Amino acid sequence: MPVKRTPIRDHKQWLAERKFAITGSVMGAVDGCHPYITPLRLFIEKQGLVDLPDRVDDGVLRRGRIYEPAVAAAVAEQRPDWQLEKCRDYFCDEATGIGATPDFFIYGDPRGLGVLQTKTTIPSVYERDWHNGNGEVAVPRYIELQAATEAMLVDASFGVVAVLVFDPFDAPCTIVEFARDHELEQQIRDRVAQFWKDIEDGREPDVNYGADRDLLAEVRGAREGLSVDLTFDNEVVDGLAERAKLKAEIKEREERCKAVEGLLMSRMRDAVVATVPGFSIAWRISERKGYTVAPSSPRVLTIRNKKGGAA
């Protein structure tokens, strides 16, 4: 089937179009390399049985959304031979369930149509995530998959990833161009096909115990009277023992922090500001407004150490 191109009227309609497709922005989750979306979260979302809250529009997402035109302006400055046009369409191969919305189209290149994916970051993250061991620029895997998906669906001749680094004294923009990689595109199609097959067969991905903790609290139900015997689950037994040790260490350190704070308070007396080398100290009155919390019935995980002590 041909790729369907749908004009984007508004954000709500765009989200609805994407709801039951694996889009370029989450392709890294299928590959297991996405820094924010785990395979299990994607698996649950795409079943459509549970409405999970969208990722919070945090500082990183907001920065990327607001400064997308700035990245395009930096690219246009460095590549005046290109004509950039904002993409206002959603592309979807309904036969494979793969979708994408490039940030910009690139015209005027002798190779033909190009697509541009814009990113923003800070210097420390750029050095950590955008370089290989030889100091050369290397696009993070999940962004590489996103850009490749977009180029594939648009049938572009080439793709570009541009990252603008926010530095207090500069805003360098790194442009990485790539040719179509048909072997990678086939890997994308194969992994998405397997993803949909896993949903059909009810095969859940492995749980990432740390990253999926809050997700499990959102989606796991509670059946009164039901219990599970984990006596011989060594991973759980060892994990709880480790948790108890860590909790004890945390409590000890928290108590020491409180003691240091008490020391500081005793020295400051009625002063609201203290001068200490390497620190900014203020102890002011803070007014708190009253509020009412709406009733709710969350599941609460309670763990107690039978031998006593912190759990």
Residues 17-31 pLDDT 10s: 998 899 999 999 999
Q: What is the pLDDT of residue 47?
A: 87
Kindly give the pairing relationship between strand 22-23 and strand 98-100: parallel
Q: What is the pLDDT of residue 68?
A: 93
Q: What is the pLDDT of residue 57?
A: 57
What pTM, to 2 d.p., does this model score? 0.81
Out of 82-86, 99-103, 113-117, 168-172, pick the least confident. 168-172
Q: What is the pLDDT of residue 301?
A: 55
Q: What is the pLDDT of residue 255?
A: 96
Q: What is the pLDDT of residue 290?
A: 75
Q: What is the pLDDT of residues 66-77, one digit of tens each?
A: 889 999 999 999
Average pLDDT value over all residues in the chain: 90
Q: What is the pLDDT of residues 228-264, one digit of tens each?
A: 999 999 999 999 999 999 999 999 999 999 999 999 9
Q: What is the pLDDT of residue 62?
A: 76
Q: Which residue shows structure tokens 């005027």? A: 108
Residue 288 pLDDT > 80, yes or no? no
Residue 311 pLDDT > 60, yes or no? no
Report, as an integer, the average pLDDT of 151-169. 94
How many angstroms separate the CA atoms of 235 and 232, rounded? 9
Residue 58 pLDDT > 70, yes or no? no
Report, as an integer, the average pLDDT of 186-203. 96
Q: What is the pLDDT of residue 55?
A: 56
Residue 302 pLDDT > 70, yes or no? no
Percent of the chain whose pLDDT exceeds 70: 92
Q: What is the pLDDT of residue 194?
A: 97
Give 72: exposed, middle or buried? Use CB within 10 Å, 0-12, 13-18, 19+. Answer: buried
Report, as an integer, the average pLDDT of 194-216. 93
Q: What is the pLDDT of residue 310?
A: 54
Residue 303 pLDDT > 80, yes or no? no
Closest CA to 212 of 36, 25, 58, 30: 36
Q: What is the pLDDT of residue 199?
A: 94
Give the helix ranges, DSSP H, for the chain: 11-18, 27-31, 39-47, 59-66, 68-78, 123-129, 141-154, 182-201, 213-219, 234-268
Closest CA to 99 of 21, 28, 158: 21
Q: How confident is the model at residue 170 (pLDDT cuts 50, 70, 90)?
A: confident
